[in-house]
Amino acid sequence: MNMQDSYITADGRTIGAPVMEMKNITLRFGGVVAIKDISFDIHEGEIRAIIGPNGAGKSSMLNVINGFYHPQEGEVWFRGKKRKPMKPHQIAKQGLARTFQNIALFKGMSTLDNIMTGRLTHMKSNMVSQMAWWGKAQDEETANREVVEKIIDFLEIQTIRKTPVGRLPYGLQKRVELGRALAAEPKLLLLDEPMAGMNVEEKEDMSRFILDVNDEFGTTIALIEHDMGVVMDIADRVVVMDYGQKIGDGTPDEVRSNQAVIDAYLGVSHD
Amino acid sequence: MTDMNSATALNTVPKLLARNASKYPNAAAYREKELGIWQSWTWAETAQEIENLALGFLDMGVNFGDHIAIVGSNRPHLYWTMVAAQSVGAVPVPLYKDAIAEEMAYVLEHCSARFVVAEDQEQVDKIIDIKDDLKTLKSIVYLDPRGMRKYDKSALFQYRDVQAKGVSSKAELMPELEKRLDVQGADTTCVMLYTSGTTGRPKGVVLSNYNIIETGRTTSEFDSLSVNDSVLAYLPMAWVGDFIFSIGQAYSAAFCVACPESGDTMQHDLRELGPTYFFAPPRYFENMLTTVQIRMEDAGKFKQRMFKYFMDHAAVIGPKLLDGKPVGAIDKLKYQLGKVLITGPLKNTLGLSRVRVGYTAGEAIGPELFDFYRSLGINLKQLYGQTEASVFITQQPDGGVRADTVGVPSPGVELRIDDKGEVFYRSPGAFVEYYKNPKSTKDTKDKEGWVATGDAGFIEKDTGQLRIIDRAKDVGKMKDGSMFAPKFVENKLKFYSNILEAVVFGDGRNECVAFINIDLTAVGNWAERNNIAYSSYQELAAHPQVYETIQGHVEEVNKSVSQDEMLSGCQISRFLILHKELDADDGEMTRTQKVRRNIIGEKYEDLLIALYGGESEIFTETEVSYEDGRKGSISATLEIRDTAMQPRAKVAA
């Protein structure tokens, strides 16, 4: 299959041209090679998963995508342009948002306020008018609050709107974090192990939300996940990494029958 | 019948709607919390929305007499759907939204529904699952499009689009709509509601416009409800009570119906909204009181003492003030002080500050519970009713409120008790028939219009109030011939906050035994305060100290039962605590949360044998089903305890 152009998924969605291309990325920390010469792309509107055993370099890859790490070799192309090294807030302005493996919310703030912080890149009024809460700042808050309320409705978390997130159970905190990332209205949403530590029911809920986000807002999603069952169910295409190298790339079915992937997950005897 | 003109003019719900829209065009008819803000629709806007949808229904090809099933949570759009269906001469059939697909299939098949209006993807999915077996089903209309982008849209329409299509062909369709509105009258079917069915398959109760409108009108007058009142609609739409409160009475008295943001935010929405008219099943009031008690136990010493001081005072004075009895000036002053410091804020927290009329029904309510709310100054009353009566059979008048009776006959209702003790009634609200079931209709309703309630009770001589003992068929005889009324005992047990449900057996036996369900909130909190670790409901339920506490409760109930001359034989000799909560999904309870004793008796036959066999513990394995139809099983070893019994009271000769 030619992956350069748009394609149609098994369930009949049309996927657009690539929004992000990783070309021959190599990332080193001193003498340790975390990522070795990896290339893949993420198409507009698809759900792209990156999987691999512990220490395969998945989170490093995600950090390269969101511009937190700068690879020593290789190029990152975003929406048809080669991306120069940037600060995280500049990247956020370009339309990237992410969630974290270990939840990074403001524990003492309410769900509503936490999601509101995700709107930061959409606020343009200056600090003085925000402090006075007057004029443009007021209109802006109303408009942003509406977006946040739509997300609260979307994620079905109306009951915890005013609850400090530190008091919420883990599964709900993950959902709030997804809400905060969505509030930025990202073009590309990065999810770092969205289902880690969840029970079956919470995983089902989260999968539904991820699919709905993709379906409803047309958001392109790149996610890292351990749970193979979940990945194979929701992803359109999967990149498999092992020891910093790409060992497989394709649809879930292709990946599932790839011998190198099977060996990496089940182990092979070296004799 | 004196005023022929108005009687013929207002004999259908759509006609009441037209009256409200012209008489109170700017008064709020519906409110709903959406995106965190209360949205409202006036009567004029409501009439427009309903007209648009009715036109859309005509455009879709809804015929006169079709059945339109409605499934979802309480939302203004779904209430409009019911009235829009009535406008085009179709019969709305609201369904329980948590019903599993098979249950829905039965009802949809039985009423040959041609259209279903569903709230969201969850409901649409269930209907798509069973669609192939339903020959009559033509199309599905949905409210919330989320998640359904990829669905096959050939027989699936969005609510908004249906309305838009209706509006665009208004010119052609309007004459047809007007014609259909005109030909309907008091005898036309208003709604069909399926009874929860404590036994067997649900039955479709057909209620006419006369049933609903007459009941709505007289009972609104009974409690002087008006356009200034408001109610929170949060109970299942498929339940007759919600239909009467949110359609029958609301359209008759033109008061405002508010819908909560979601089922889980109901308590919060209640507080924001402060309705003036409120209905809740006893279980709701129980849960609310349990929450208050738990939070007070966690409060500081000073607050606890203040709470106790003023609540004790209010318990004596509050009910007297509500009933208009004389109260001393100092007591009154102290009550007012308590109102500022304790009862007022508490009422506000519970969302009951503005409640003028509150009703509870369905199950018996504990006297302590009842007194608690009345001492806060909340006019909480009991009513007795059933689907077949359009709810109201008896209700308590202001000043005649008691915990152990259910009130005097509602306006226009006649009561009769037959020689076996069963209660019969004849009323304007009495149903037309069971749909496609003439045999059951004949068994329940006789030629003169008397309807059997299936409940055993008696009318108190001095007050004229009705007192219900139990279901007539559940009232049995024990081996020695004394009367067995399980519900009487179960209710006494359930008044303890630690006990959520109890099921008592003993018909035709020498002695009574019981299954107990603990209340996880109350017992869990107790465990937390006493540093008792537990990992599951099952483990907590089997804890020896929990058994100890429950045994204490059972023995107290035995003491109280032994005081009753007729029923002293119903004392519980042995009991066990069940390892799982009784659940409607497993068929153990009805969707309205009533225990199905026979089904439980069959399902847990091994436990019953052990209870009567004198064993001290029993191993059991139970199948449980989840809402989506999957099954699992849990197993446990349950302890069985003997309890102390009191000598039986002498039956008066």
Domains assigned to chain A: 7-95+186-266 (3.40.50.300)
- Test B265 with A158 for CB contact under 8 angstroms: yes
How far apart (Å, rounded) are the C-alpha atoms in residues B64 and B86?
A: 9
- Alpha carbon of residue B618 to chain centroid: 35
Q: What is the DSSP string of A67-126?
A: TSS--SEEEEEETTEEPPP--HHHHHHTTEEEE-SS----TTSBHHHHHHHTTGGG--S-
User: Given CB atoms, is A212 within the 8 Å cutoff of chain B?
Assistant: yes
Q: Which amino acid is at B167?
A: V
Bridge partners (DSSP) of residue B631 are: B625
What contacts B552, CB < 8 A, 6 or more positions away? none
Q: Are B580 and B624 in contact (CB under 8 A)?
A: yes
- The minimum CA-CA distance between A102 and chain B, rounded to whole Å, is 25
- Among B35, B259, B626, the residue to mutate for chain A (most A Cβ within 10 A): B35
**Where in B328-436 does DSSP place strands (E)?**
357-360, 380-386, 391-395, 408-409, 414-417, 422-426, 433-434
DSSP H or E segment with residue B278: strand B277-279
Q: What is the pLDDT of residues A52-70, one digit of tens each?
A: 888 888 989 999 998 889 9
Q: Are B469 and B421 in contact (CB under 8 A)?
A: yes
- Test B262 with A159 for CB contact under 8 angstroms: yes
Q: What is the DSSP string of B126-191?
A: HHHHHGGG-SS--EEEES--TT-TTS-GGGEEEHHHHHHHHHHTHHHHHHHHHHHHHH--TTSEEE
Query: Looking at beta carbons, which residues of chain A come within 8 Å of B626?
Result: none
Bridge partners (DSSP) of residue B93 are: B69
Pairing status of strand A237-242 against strand A220-224: unpaired
As a whole number, the mean pLDDT across chain B is: 89
Return the minimum-mean-pLDDT range out of B21-30, B273-282, B392-401: B392-401
Query: Looking at beta carbons, which residues of chain A come within 8 Å of B34?
Result: 153
CATH superfamily to which B382-393+410-472 belongs: Luciferase; Domain 3 (2.30.38.10)
Query: Looking at beta carbons, which residues of chain A come within 8 Å of B146?
Result: 154, 212, 216
Query: Looking at beta carbons, which residues of chain B come within 8 Å of A113?
Result: none
Q: Looking at chain B, which residue has its C-alpha nearest residue A209?
A: B147
- The minimum CA-CA distance between B277 and chain A, rounded to whole Å, is 24
Residue B5's pLDDT is 45
Return the minimum-mean-pLDDT range out of A26-35, B320-329, B447-456, B600-609: B320-329
How far apart (Å, rounded) are the C-alpha atoms in residues B168 and B288?
A: 49
Instruction: For residue A12, give the nearest of B150, B261, B268 by CB distance.
Output: B150
Residue B198's pLDDT is 56
The number of beta carbons lying within 10 Å of the beta carbon of residue B355 is: 21
Pairing status of strand B37-42 against strand B67-71: unpaired
Query: Looking at beta carbons, which residues of chain B come within 8 Å of A145?
Result: 36
Q: Are B462 and B483 in contact (CB under 8 A)?
A: no
Helix (H, G, I), strand (E, B) or coil at B547: helix
Q: Are A192 and A101 in contact (CB under 8 A)?
A: yes
Predicted interface score ipTM higher than 0.85: no
User: Given CB atoms, is B35 within the 8 Å cutoff of chain A?
Assistant: yes
The number of beta carbons lying within 10 Å of the beta carbon of residue A64 is: 22
The number of beta carbons lying within 10 Å of the beta carbon of residue A55 is: 13
> Cα angle at A169 between A194 and B73, to 5 degrees?
90
Q: What is the DSSP string of A127-189?
A: HHHHHHT-THHHHHHHHHHHHHHHHHHHTT-GGGTTSBGGGS-HHHHHHHHHHHHHHT--SEE
User: Given CB atoms, is A156 within the 8 Å cutoff of chain B?
Assistant: yes
Confidence of residue B347 (pLDDT cuts 50, 70, 90): very high
Q: Which of B535, B534, B536, B604 is nearest to B576 (CA)?
A: B604
Confidence of residue B653 (pLDDT cuts 50, 70, 90): very low
Confidence check: pLDDT of B4 > 80? no
- The minimum CA-CA distance between B268 and chain A, rounded to whole Å, is 8
- Among A113, A159, A217, the residue to mutate for chain B (most B Cβ within 10 A): A159
How far apart (Å, rounded) are the C-alpha atoms in residues B534 and A225?
A: 32
Residue B552's pLDDT is 94
Sheet holding B512-518, edge to edge: B499-505, B512-518, B572-577, B631-642, B617-625
CATH classification of B4-278, choosing from 3.40.50.1240, 3.40.50.12780, 2.20.28.90, 1.10.260.40? 3.40.50.12780
Find the mean pLDDT for residues A155-175: 92
Q: Which amino acid is at B17?
A: L
Every domain of chain B and the residues it spans: 4-278, 280-357+368-378, 382-393+410-472, 476-642
Confidence check: pLDDT of B175 > 80? yes
- Alpha carbon of residue A65 to chain centroid: 10
Q: Looking at chain B, which residue has its C-alpha nearest residue A155?
A: B146
Measured CA to CA in angstroms, residue B362 lies from A197, B415, B445, B460, B555 at distances of 42, 19, 21, 20, 26
Pairing status of strand A32-43 against strand A18-29: antiparallel
Instruction: For residue B36, give the nearest of A11, A149, A154 by CB distance.
Output: A149
Confidence check: pLDDT of A1 > 70? no
Confidence check: pLDDT of B496 > 50? yes
CATH topology match: B4-278 vs B382-393+410-472 = no
Q: What is the pLDDT of residues A194-217, one digit of tens each?
A: 988 888 888 988 999 999 899 888
Query: Looking at beta carbons, which residues of chain A come within 8 Å of B264?
Result: 158-159
Q: Are B27 and B256 in contact (CB under 8 A)?
A: yes
Reading phi first (left if > 0) and then psi (alpha if -120 to 50, else beta), residue B378 is in: beta
Lookup: tokens for B511:
């002695």
Residue B208's pLDDT is 96
- Test B36 with A152 for CB contact under 8 angstroms: yes
Q: What is the Rg, in whole angstroms, of the alpha carbon atoms belonging to chain A?
A: 19
Measured CA to CA in angstroms, residue B116 lies from A177, B94, B113, B134, B163 at distances of 37, 10, 7, 12, 15
Which CATH fold would you assign to the domain B476-642? Answer: GMP Synthetase; Chain A, domain 3 (3.30.300)
- Test B36 with A215 for CB contact under 8 angstroms: no
With the C-alpha atoms ordered A199, B499, B280, B588, is the resulting torsion angle positive or negative? positive
Q: What is the pTM of this model?
A: 0.82
Confidence of residue B244 (pLDDT cuts 50, 70, 90): very high
Lookup: tokens for B420:
């076996």
Residue environment code for B599-615, b if the CB has 16+ CB neighbours within 10 A, otherwise e: bbeebbeebbebbbeee
Q: What is the pLDDT of residues A213-271, one digit of tens each?
A: 998 888 999 999 878 888 888 999 999 998 889 999 999 989 888 888 888 877 776 65
Confidence of residue A129 (pLDDT cuts 50, 70, 90): confident
Confidence of residue B651 (pLDDT cuts 50, 70, 90): very low
Instruction: For residue B146, give the nearest of A12, A161, A216 by CB distance.
Output: A216
Helix (H, G, I), strand (E, B) or coil at B548: helix
How far apart (Å, rounded) are the C-alpha atoms in residues A155 and A172?
A: 10
Lookup: tokens for B83:
């009235």
Residue B199's pLDDT is 60
Confidence check: pLDDT of B490 > 60? yes
DSSP H or E segment with residue B292: helix B282-297
Lookup: tokens for B1:
């019948």
How far apart (Å, rounded) are the C-alpha atoms in residues B595 and B505?
A: 12
Eight-class DSSP state of B387: G
Q: Looking at chain B, which residue has its C-alpha nearest residue A218?
A: B149
Q: Looking at chain B, which residue has its C-alpha nearest residue A12?
A: B150
The number of beta carbons lying within 10 Å of the beta carbon of residue B410 is: 26
Phi first, then psi, for residue A168 (nearest 5°) are -85, 150
How far apart (Å, rounded) are the C-alpha atoms in residues A117 and A184?
A: 9
- Test A13 with B150 for CB contact under 8 angstroms: yes
Lookup: tokens for B523:
């017992």
Confidence check: pLDDT of B462 > 50? yes
- The minimum CA-CA distance between A213 and chain B, rounded to whole Å, is 9
Q: Are B76 and B41 in contact (CB under 8 A)?
A: yes
User: Given CB atoms, is B348 within the 8 Å cutoff of chain A?
Assistant: no
Confidence of residue B54 (pLDDT cuts 50, 70, 90): very high
User: Given CB atoms, is B147 within the 8 Å cutoff of chain A?
Assistant: yes
Confidence check: pLDDT of B221 > 80? yes
Q: Are B229 and B356 in contact (CB under 8 A)?
A: yes
A51-55, A92-96, B68-72: which has the highest mean pLDDT? B68-72
